[in-house]
Amino acid sequence: MARSRYPLVARQAWLPIAVTLVVAGLIWYFLALLWALPLLVLATLIAWLFRDPYRQIPSTPAGRGQSRRWACGECRYRS
């Protein structure tokens, strides 16, 4: 599968990250970097939470034999 241009962050997070960075930049410009650091950390956290890594999707779906669950404790195998 050819890898195309794929965004690292989901599109739903672009606006919150942009707003947070703009406000942090304004606070940094008018006040100081120390006051803008919490917003910069928040923008980094939002980007990390909404990350969208490239995933390889298998060509065959997982069948009944590949998606079995195991029971905990004294129970034996169940499907």
**pLDDT, tens digit, 9 for 90 and up, residues 30-67:** 999 999 999 999 999 999 998 877 777 777 766 555 55
Cα angle, residue 41 at apex, residues 7 and 48 outer, rounded to 5°: 30
78 DSSP β-pair partners = 69
Residue type, 24: A
- The pTM score is 0.61
Mean of pLDDT values over 10-26: 93
Q: 33-49 vs 14-30: helix axis angle to the nearest 10?
A: 170
